[in-house]
Amino acid sequence: KAGVTQTPRYLIKTRGQQVTLSCSPISGHRSVSWYQQTPGQGLQFLFEYFSETQRNKGNFPGRFSGRQFSNSRSEMNVSTLELGDSALYLCASSLRTATMNTEAFFGQGTRLTVV
């Protein structure tokens, strides 16, 4: 079956603009999480969505937001872009139920460059 799909793969934006990234999880997976990967800070957890609700959030400013649709697809939005937002943004999905949470499957990521 298809893996986690992230679009677009590459983006170049200007400081002050906003950007929206998209993630389609593996079919049947209802938990979607977002991570930021930079050379300096490594991989950092942004937030998790499950059943269209944000369940957990990392330590990022309010400029970073997201949402999840009824088909479990998720979007992440970053407003008022800063140079430091340049990173690889990774989406991961898992099969989460009331009693268990399976391993995370990651997409290939969206490479965002802010100039």
Partner 1 sequence: GDSVTQMEGPVTLSEEACLTINCTYTATGYPSLFWYVQYPGEGLQLLLKATKADDKGSNKGFEATYRKETTSFHLEKGSVQVSDSAVYFCALSDRGGGADGLTFGKGTHLIIQP
Q: By the criterion CB under 8 A, which residues form the site for partner 1?
A: 4, 31-33, 35, 42-45, 48, 50, 55-56, 58, 90, 92-94, 96, 100-109
Q: Least CB distance from residue 19 to partner 1, whole Å?
A: 19
Q: Which is nearer to partner 1, 45 or 60 (CB)?
A: 45
Q: Which is nearer to partner 1, 20 or 56 (CB)?
A: 56
Do residues 102 and 96 make contact, with C-beta atoms less than 8 angstroms apart? yes
Do residues 74 and 67 make contact, with C-beta atoms less than 8 angstroms apart? yes
Q: Which is nearer to partner 1, 9 or 15 (CB)?
A: 9
Q: Least CB distance from residue 70 to partner 1, whole Å?
A: 19
Q: Least CB distance from residue 86 to partner 1, whole Å?
A: 17
CA-based torsion, 7, 105, 64, 55: positive or negative? positive
Q: How many CA atoms lie within 13 A of 85 on its CB side?
A: 27
Q: Least CB distance from residue 78 to partner 1, whole Å?
A: 19
Q: CA–CA distance from 66 to each of 1, 48, 98, 99, 102 (Å)?
A: 25, 9, 23, 25, 22
